[in-house]
């Protein structure tokens, strides 16, 4: 089977910044691949290289078997791109935007109209199809942006941080839309700074930092390596933290302490049982606990578990990443 | 999140189809169609450019005009209105520079560049749309000219030829503004760079006879491209009566202005295409 995406030793340098430092990535068709990493990891650079918007300095890149460096025009026949910025014409309606891009994809006027109807239904915007995009909410813009890339029939859909800057409600809705596309059989490469997003949408997660792949696998594999769920204890008095650490060390490996936040956390293999255990032990020690919770590891913690070091720049939500 | 982990599904048969993409001409038209719609649906754009143009005309016609001599028997309004109309192509063109920069900044250009269309269509579509807008602003400028008292003393055919020349000049300058937009990177930078048109307009024969300018400025006024363009349009608009007052024949001005038009078009067009491909 021809990989939908095959990158070998891809490098790209901007002045002193090494955006891609020999990136290797192979994705099979029928999969959703999430490229996960902090701001400046090289995610956007990679997507732009796949979209033939920039030319790598070295390495090879094949999209659906087509050499992206030798034959970029052919690659553009196979891809759809939805960016971080909703690049949609605001002075046109959702439907007009879809029909325009459909025709640019090479559809006849009639087919473009039909494609617009199909996509509007897929992205659940039929009711608002004939309103100008400038009246849309942030979430609706992202959905129309996503839909536009589907006006043709791309083999590979590139989604660069599809939900960055969206409120939680709109994020959930966009995830739902992306899942529908996945169910319809579109291969997707998406980039994200959020572990939960990669977890929800992708069949394969590729973690990158400093322009190279540092880990790859299914969400389940990576979570196992990252130590599953985290038990986090928030104490009233920072002086209790050493004692809390003592308790947590019996529950899992390597408890981490954040003194200013008065928190200590530890990965736990069997979350809920361990939580009870921790609670009982803390009670016995007579430590005043503000809050204790069981949560999924954050991107930082996955990084720490996989590489032994924290990412140097951690993206903050709502801030578009640039590479 | 067990519900999402299993995503191996039968492939959609329609995926076998390839997006061939639109050709150069139809994609240019589609890109242009978007621009024209954007302009038509953004009333503040139309209103502001129209008001700006009207203010200019009123200031020169009624505030400064009285103290500017035409160096001939020509009335100032008949001298100035052809200059006003010709130079309006430059003010209209500034919008193209900011528009191009904005499209790059907001990712619209990237979206188009990721589509299976000839990349040149992004620029030719823009140029095409701006020609439509240019004709519109030339028509408004002409109407204003007549309102403030301009009277055609040449033939109607010549006047139409003058209008056609303005459109041609506008097309050439359009590529300069596209280039500025490509170099600018963002709308503000492009707009500041676009202000280069100010010396071009005022140090030309558009509002003031070049001969009346101090030495140094005058040389610039004489050699720069807008001057022969204005002179050609003026010469056609005021007819034989005015031509007798000019230093050269109408044909000379038209010829020179067309040489400039071709040169600007080729150089700026080539640089814009080169710069765009290098992005």
Nearest CB to A77; choose among B11, B30, B116: B116
Query: H helices within A240-319, ranges in order?
Result: 241-251, 271-285, 299-307
CA angle A178, A179, A185 (to 5 degrees): 95
Say if the Cβ atoms of A203 and B114 lie within 8 Å: no
Q: Judge if ipTM > 0.90.
A: no
Say if the Cβ atoms of B30 and A100 lie within 8 Å: yes
Say if the Cβ atoms of B19 and A154 lie within 8 Å: yes
Token pair 């003010």 in the structure block, residue: B91
Nearest CB to B19; choose among A90, A106, A185: A106
Interface of A with B in 204-223 (CB under 8 A): 218-220
pLDDT tens track of chain A, all 323 residues?
788 999 999 999 988 888 999 999 999 888 899 998 888 889 999 999 999 999 999 999 999 999 999 999 999 999 999 877 668 899 999 999 999 999 999 999 999 999 999 999 888 899 999 999 999 998 899 889 988 988 888 889 999 988 887 888 888 888 888 888 777 778 899 998 888 888 888 889 999 988 999 888 888 787 777 666 788 888 888 888 888 888 888 877 778 888 888 888 887 777 777 888 888 888 888 887 888 888 777 766 777 777 666 655 444 443 333 33
pLDDT in tens, B128-137: 999 998 999 8
B97: nearest Cα among B274, B279, B272, B277: B272
Q: Are B141 and B226 in contact (CB under 8 A)?
A: no
Using the predicted structure, report yes or no on whether residue B3 has a pLDDT greater than 70.
no
CA-CA-CA-CA torsion for B49, B54, B57, B59, nearest 10 degrees?
-110
CA angle A296, A318, A52 (to 5 degrees): 100
How far is A105 from chain B, CA to nearest CA, in Å?
A: 4
pLDDT band at B46 (very low <50, low <70, confident <90, very high): confident
The distance from CA A282 to its chain's CA centroid, rounded to whole angstroms, is 37
Residue A89 sits at the chain B interface (C-beta within 8 Å) = yes
Percent of chain B whose predicted confidence (pLDDT) is above 90:
39
Using the predicted structure, report yes or no on whether residue B240 has a pLDDT greater than 80.
no
Contacts of A30 in chain B (CB under 8 A): 7-9, 11
CB neighbours (10 Å) of residue B51? 10
Contacts of B14 in chain A (CB under 8 A): 153
pLDDT band at B198 (very low <50, low <70, confident <90, very high): confident
Using the predicted structure, report yes or no on whether residue B13 has a pLDDT greater than 60.
no
pLDDT band at B11 (very low <50, low <70, confident <90, very high): very low
pLDDT, residue A243, reads: 83
End-to-end CA distance of chain B: 41
User: Mean pLDDT over residues B199-222, rounded?
Assistant: 86
pLDDT, residue B4, reads: 41
CB neighbours (10 Å) of residue A276? 9
Contacts of B166 by beta carbon, 8 Å cutoff, 6+ apart: B85, B86, B89, B138, B229, B233
Element (H, E) at B156: helix B156-184
Q: Are B39 and B133 in contact (CB under 8 A)?
A: yes
| Dihedral sign of CA atoms A101, A106, A111, A115 in order | negative
Q: How many CB pairs under 8 A join A and B?
A: 125
Nearest Cα residue in chain B from A201: B4
User: Mean pLDDT over residues B1-7, rounded?
Assistant: 40
DSSP label at residue B245? T
Rounded Cα distance between A299 and A201, Å, is: 16
Rounded Cα distance between A82 and A162, Å, is: 7
Nearest Cα residue in chain B from A102: B21
Q: Which two tokens stand for residue B50?
A: 């129209």
Rounded Cα distance between A257 and A254, Å, is: 10
Q: Which residue has the higher pLDDT, B235 or B6?
A: B235
The distance from CA B2 to its chain's CA centroid, rounded to whole angstroms, is 58
Max CA-CA distance within chain A? Answer: 74
Using the predicted structure, report yes or no on whether residue B278 has a pLDDT greater than 80.
no
């Amino acid at each position: 089977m021809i990989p939908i995406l095959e990158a070998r030793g891809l490098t790209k340098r901007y002045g002193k910044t090494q955006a891609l430092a020999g990136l290797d990535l192979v994705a099979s068709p029928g999969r959703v691949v999430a490229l996960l990493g902090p701001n400046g990891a090289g995610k956007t650079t990679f997507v732009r290289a796949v979209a033939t918007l920039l030319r790598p300095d070295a390495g090879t890149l094949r999209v659906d078997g087509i050499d992206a460096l030798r034959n970029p025009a052919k690659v553009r026949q196979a891809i759809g791109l939805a960016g971080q910025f909703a690049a949609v014409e605001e002075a046109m309606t959702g439907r007009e935007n879809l029909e325009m891009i459909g025709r640019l994809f090479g559809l006849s006027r009639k087919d473009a109209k039909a494609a617009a109807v199909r996509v509007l239904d897929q992205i659940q915007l039929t009711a608002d199809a004939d309103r100008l995009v400038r009246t849309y909410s942030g979430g609706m813009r992202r959905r129309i942006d996503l839909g536009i890339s589907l006006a043709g029939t791309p083999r590979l859909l590139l989604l660069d941080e599809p939900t960055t800057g969206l409120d939680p409600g709109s994020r959930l809705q966009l995830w739902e839309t992306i899942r529908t596309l996945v169910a319809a059989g579109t291969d997707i490469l998406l980039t994200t700074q959020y572990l939960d997003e990669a977890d929800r949408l992708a069949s394969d997660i590729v973690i990158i930092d400093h322009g190279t792949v540092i880990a790859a696998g299914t969400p389940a594999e990576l979570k196992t390596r990252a130590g599953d769920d985290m038990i986090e204890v928030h104490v009233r008095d920072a002086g209790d933290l050493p004692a809390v650490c003592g308790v947590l060390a019996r529950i899992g490996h390597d408890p981490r302490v954040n003194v200013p936040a008065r928190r200590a956390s530890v990965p736990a293999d069997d979350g809920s049982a361990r939580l009870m255990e921790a609670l009982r032990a803390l009670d016995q020690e007579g430590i005043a606990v503000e809050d204790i919770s069981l949560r999924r590891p954050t991107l930082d913690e996955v990084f720490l578990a996989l590489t032994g070091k924290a990412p140097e720049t951690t993206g903050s939500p709502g801030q578009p990443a640039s590479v | 999140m067990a519900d999402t982990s299993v995503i191996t599904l039968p492939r959609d048969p329609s995926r076998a189809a390839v997006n061939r993409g639109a050709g150069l001409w139809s994609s240019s038209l589609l890109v242009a169609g978007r621009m024209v719609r954007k302009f038509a649906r953004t009333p503040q754009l139309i209103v502001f450019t129209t008001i700006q143009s009207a203010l200019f005309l009123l200031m020169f016609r009624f505030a400064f005009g009285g103290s500017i001599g035409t160096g001939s028997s020509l009335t100032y309004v008949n001298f100035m209105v052809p200059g006003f109309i010709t130079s309006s192509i430059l003010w209209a063109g500034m919008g193209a520079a900011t528009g191009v920069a904005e499209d790059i900044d907001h990712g619209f250009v990237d979206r188009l560049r990721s589509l299976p269309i000839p990349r040149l269509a992004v620029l030719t579509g823009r140029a095409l749309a701006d020609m439509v807008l240019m004709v519109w602003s030339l028509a408004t400028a002409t109407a204003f000219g007549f309102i403030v008292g301009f009277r055609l003393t040449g033939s109607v055919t010549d006047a139409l030829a003058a209008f056609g020349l303005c459109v041609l000049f506008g097309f050439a300058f359009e590529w300069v503004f596209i280039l500025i937009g490509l170099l600018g990177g963002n709308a503000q930078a492009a707009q500041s760079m676009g202000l280069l048109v100010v010396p071009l307009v005022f140090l030309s024969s558009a509002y003031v006879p070049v001969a009346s300018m101090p030495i140094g400025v005058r040389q610039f006024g004489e050699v720069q491209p807008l001057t022969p363009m204005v002179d050609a349009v003026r010469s056609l608009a005021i007819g034989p009566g005015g031509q007798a007052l000019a230093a050269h024949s109408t044909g000379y001005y038209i010829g020179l202005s067309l040489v400039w038009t071709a040169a600007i078009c080729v150089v700026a067009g080539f640089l814009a295409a080169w710069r765009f491909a290098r992005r």
